[in-house]
Amino acid sequence: MRARAFWVTAPGHGEIRDVEVGEPGPDEVLVRTRYSAVSRGTETLVFRGEVPASEHERMRAPFQEGVFPGPVKYGYLAVGEVERGPAGLVGRTVFCLYPHQTRFVVPAAAVTVVPDDVPADRAVLAGTVETAVNAVWDAAPLVGDRIAVVGAGMVGASVAAVLAGIPGARVQLVDTDPSRAALAAALGVGFASPAEATGDCDVVVHASATAAGLARSLELLAPEGEVVELSWYGSRPVSLPLGGPFHSRRLAVRASQVGTVSPRRAHRGYGERMARALRLLADPRFDALVEREVVLDALPAALAAMAAGGSPSLCLRVSHD
């Protein structure tokens, strides 16, 4: 079989290529992709060739082909319909951590069935919401906590949407773009600019991928508070103000990364974490995270624009139909 896939051919350049797809084996599935999505932070770093050599192996996507900086076929947000495979999966809509490709074959264990009440076009957010679930497990907020999420991009907004369900919590989404106030309202959380954000926070989740955002996150903490850092900076150095009240207020910065299940919930495993993310996506509030949709042929130009700093900063959904 033939399929079409997006490849980063060299830093700053991408193209759609014809690829061969093998026949599925006894424990494999053939999936016809309906939608994929761009994970802006990671995929723009990959597109620009900014994955540090020390991280080439750790940053491999599950079904990546090629190597950094390129040519490389990279991505991990795909939803499609099983055309061939075990009887219980044929005809089902599934999510898979696969790059942007119109058809693909993977082990049946690599796909997760999308619940019937989750539309396929929303299910592409599953990988990002899984990241949010892991971040909330790492942050371990309590009922009534004061929480800020700094950075209203795709990941930060997903985290805010998950946190909004904690009883009595004060959740504020913080961003430099005032138009994100409408997004915060759709998600059911507060909004503020960095200068006007409410401090004395028990937890701050940082997802702006900027040094200024990380510094402001520390400023928003109450004594003994913690910043959960979700941003990944690739090869860019980041300055962190550890003088001033950092030590006297006993502040902390914790890394969170979806490649490892939070130690606080390690017994749950990857499968349960993904299933939880998909169940959360039955909530139509998450539709607010999709900013734009393009067809596969338009992806190279769209990703080039994103890598250069253009919009969207929320979900760019790619239609394969």
How many helices (H) and strands (E) would you count in the chain?
8, 17
Count Cα atoms within 13 angstroms, Cβ side, for 86: 11
Low-confidence stretches of the chain (pLDDT beneath 70): 311-312
Residue 91: the pLDDT is 98
Neighbours of 258 (CB within 10 A): 19
Residue 132: the pLDDT is 95
Rounded distance, CA 105 to CA 225, Å? 46
Give tens-digit pLDDT for 36-48.
999 888 899 999 9
Rounded distance, CA 205 to CA 113, Å? 29
Nearest to 112 by CA among 88, 93, 99, 130: 93
Residue 257: the pLDDT is 83
The token pair that represents 23 in the structure block: 């026949």
Helix axis angle for 154-163 and 40-48, nearest 10°, is 160
Rounded distance, CA 121 to CA 125, Å? 8
Domains of the chain: 2-125+281-319 (3.90.180.10), 131-261 (3.40.50.720)
Residue 312: the pLDDT is 64
